[in-house]
Structure 1
Amino acid sequence: MKKSLIALAVLSALAGTSAAQTNVAIYGVVDVGISRTDVSNGAATWGMDSGVQSGSRLGFKGTEDLGGGMSASFNLENGYAVDTGAMSGGLLFGRQAWVALNGGYGTVRLGRQFTPIFQVLDDIDPFGTGLSGAINNVFSTYGVRMNNTVKYLTPQLNGFSGQLAYGFGEVAGNTSASRHLGASVGYVNGPLNVQFAYHDANNATDTGSTNTALLAGMYDFRVVKLHAAFATNGDDTTGAASKSRSRDVMLGVSAPVGSVGTVLASWIRHDQRSGAVGGVDRDQWAIGYLHSLSKRTNLYTSYGRLNLKPAGSADVSAFYAGIRHKF
């Protein structure tokens, strides 16, 4: 009996030491909805979609105190489809996979991570890059995530913060081919949120690059939030018949309805200034509604339409109604 008590005491002490050194959390999102998609030159499709408002995911994250004001952290995040149970994108941790060192200087992360320009759009878009009004249906996010990435995040200072990311192309004999470079800087003070981002991506043959400069902001008047974004895009591929230039603009609002509801709306315009790369002119407008059932569960619905120009191009509209639960 005494040996059992001693063993239990030792195990309890070891468990307490481990818990003090490392903090690991399991989290996730389960999001699924009914959808209807209409294409102007085809038939309507009814179905069930996963990750309509937020991508369904299962994640593991943790931190370890290294002493002296430093810590190590990691994040492994898997995406999956609720409607079929399949793994999204064919990657085990396709949403995020990185390890980091944190200190008074900021944070340095290594691995698969979100592009800074996507994080700005996700923060400013009234639809949060989801539902029928996702801003990344029109604005460029450069794949949302970057592989083989070193990212530096500054500490917050008087409302200012920033990110700098470099993605290795990993092309033998050419350090420029397939290389990605992203950066952002933001200022948040009370109801005001203003952010700037830039991304430059070289192609696989190192014969040119595409780039985007983005300015976005949001102001909370309490009765309504105003959202806006403006971007200029360029494609400088060598040998192209005509260099491509385009502009994107978004205007949006979000407003509380009572204590549990939120109305969302936005209009987005893509203006093809020159060249063929980047597609034709297009307009997207959308409206949506979120209804909270608790702090972790909400219902949602939205409708949006994407119109392409010139006339005769296929227009697309989408309707969603579903549920999202966070854990």
Structure 2
Amino acid sequence: MKRIMTAASLAVVAQAAAGQSSATLYGFINTGLVSASSVYDQSTGRSGTVVKMDDGISWGTSRFGFTGNEDLGGGLSAIYKLEAGFDTPTGKLAGTALFNRGSWVGLNGGLGTVTLGRQWNLGDDTMVGSFFRGGYNLSVFRLTGFDEVSDLVDNAVKYKTPVLGGLQASALYGVGGVAGSPGANQVIELALAYGNGPLNLGAVYHRRNDAIAPFASELWELGANYTFGVVRLRAGYANSQYPQLDGLLRRAAVYGVGGDYTVTPALVLSADAVYRKQTGSSDSAAFVRLTTDYSLSKRTGVFTNLGLLKNRNQAAEAFYGDGLAGQSQVVLNVGVRHAF
């Protein structure tokens, strides 16, 4: 009888261990003052300097969220994440949905990870931060045809393999959800990432079908970085095909190089140079971005951003405003960030 009771007790303990779960509330607040020159308003036809308070320039949009997991036993776990972005200067949500920055649930185990819901795409997972500098403004995904370097996909199924020998493969499928047209609004992505010591490599293919017209946007991305002690060098390339309002397809290429220098554990200096070339024309745009980030503690820091954008010929890229052909722009930003 004693042995039976002991065995039963062990079984209860095992079940309790297998059912262990955790939930975490987290957040990030990032805001500062911005001065932007040559901000063009298409509705008035005027350009001028704007001084404002803004969010999401250095470390991305302010946010809060919930994340957690449950141990299901046998190396399998249930995982989930709900994240809402908001604008600190006004307190408004950064979008119409509550969990505008992601809402997904999935399973993680020895065969990899599967998640379902509204999720960041594979370009964001693979390229942003590692090869292209993050932060919404003053970044490569503000350029025409390259916003989907970092984007959220609704109704998405994402699968990531385990990391084997430094290599990980990923796939994403966004269900279109249009009756009678399975291909409309459909998103397909494939990615490979490799990390071995100081070397990291990444590649992403993205395709999004148009909802009505028979057009699709395509994006190829390649990246590499290498760390030399306190210095990390980054390089990225992307090639985009995207439909225009006139119904025609355009192609463009982006080339980016950058570096991060850890002066001290608290102080990091970053520099990036990005060049966009419109295929089949002489239109081009280039920008340089300089960033300083200083940590006052593990959770709090201050930062500066300087961005200089130059348009040539009919290129009309802009960090702020609608963009005007041949118009350049200078943006200066200082701010505070805090994580909780």
Residues 182 and 200, structure 1, Cα contact 8 Å, conserved in 2: yes
Residues 131 and 302, structure 1, Cα contact 8 Å, conserved in 2: no
The TM-score, its normalising length taken from structure 2, stands at: 0.84
**Among 111, 115, 123, which residue is 1:109 paired with?**
115
Segment drifting more, 111-120 vs 192-201: 111-120
Matched, 1:321 2:334: yes
**Could you list the per-position Cα deviations for residues 100-141 of structure 1 after superposition, in whole angstroms to 9, with x for gaps in the alignment?**
0111110110000001012222132463x1176423223724
Over 3 Å counting, the alpha-carbon distance change for 1:39 and 1:125 in structure 2 is: farther
Over 3 Å counting, the alpha-carbon distance change for 1:319 and 1:19 in structure 2 is: farther
Matched, 1:260 2:263: no
1:178-197 alignment runs, 5 A limit = 178-197=185-204
Which whole-Å CA distance do the structure 2 matches of 1:229 and 1:147 have between them? Answer: 26
Which whole-Å CA distance do the structure 1 matches of 2:157 and 2:128 have between them? Answer: 21
Which whole-Å CA distance do the structure 2 matches of 1:223 and 1:22 have between them? Answer: 38
SS of structure 2 residue aligned to 1:274: coil
Letter in 2 for 1:56: S
The TM-score, its normalising length taken from structure 1, stands at: 0.87
Q: CA deviation at 1:40?
A: 6.6
Residues 177 and 202, structure 1, Cα contact 8 Å, conserved in 2: yes
Matched, 1:29 2:3: no
Segment drifting more, 223-232 vs 139-148: 139-148
**Could you list the per-position Cα deviations for residues 19-40 of structure 1 after superposition, in whole angstroms to 9, with x for gaps in the alignment?**
9622000001011111111117
**Among 265, 282, 285, which residue is 2:288 paired with?**
285
Q: Percent identity?
A: 31
**Among 225, 230, 244, which residue is 2:232 paired with?**
225
Letter in 1 for 2:332: F
Q: Which residue of 2 aligns with 1:10?
A: none
Which runs of at least 4 in structure 1 moved beyond 3 Å after TM superposition?
A: 17-20
1:232-311 alignment runs, 5 A limit = 232-235=239-242, 240=247, 243-274=249-280, 280-310=283-313
Letter in 2 for 1:30: I
Which whole-Å CA distance do the structure 2 matches of 1:210 and 1:287 have between them? Answer: 31
SS of structure 1 residue aligned to 2:233: strand
SS of structure 1 residue aligned to 2:127: helix
Q: Which residue of 2 aligns with 1:65?
A: 71
Residues 57 and 138, structure 2, Cα contact 8 Å, conserved in 1: no
SS of structure 2 residue aligned to 1:43: strand
Which whole-Å CA distance do the structure 1 matches of 2:18 and 2:190 have between them? Answer: 36
Letter in 1 for 2:77: S
Q: CA deviation at 1:265?
A: 0.6
How many residues get paired? Answer: 307
Residues 115 and 159, structure 2, Cα contact 8 Å, conserved in 1: yes
Residues 132 and 319, structure 1, Cα contact 8 Å, conserved in 2: no
Segment drifting more, 42-51 vs 30-39: 42-51
Q: CA deviation at 1:310?
A: 0.7
SS of structure 2 residue aligned to 1:290: strand
Which whole-Å CA distance do the structure 2 matches of 1:300 and 1:81 have between them? Answer: 18
Q: CA deviation at 1:84?
A: 0.8
Letter in 2 for 1:317: V
Which whole-Å CA distance do the structure 1 matches of 2:160 and 2:217 have between them? Answer: 24
Structure 2 gap segments, 5+ residues each:
1-15, 41-46, 315-324
* RMSD over equivalenced CA pairs, Å: 2.5
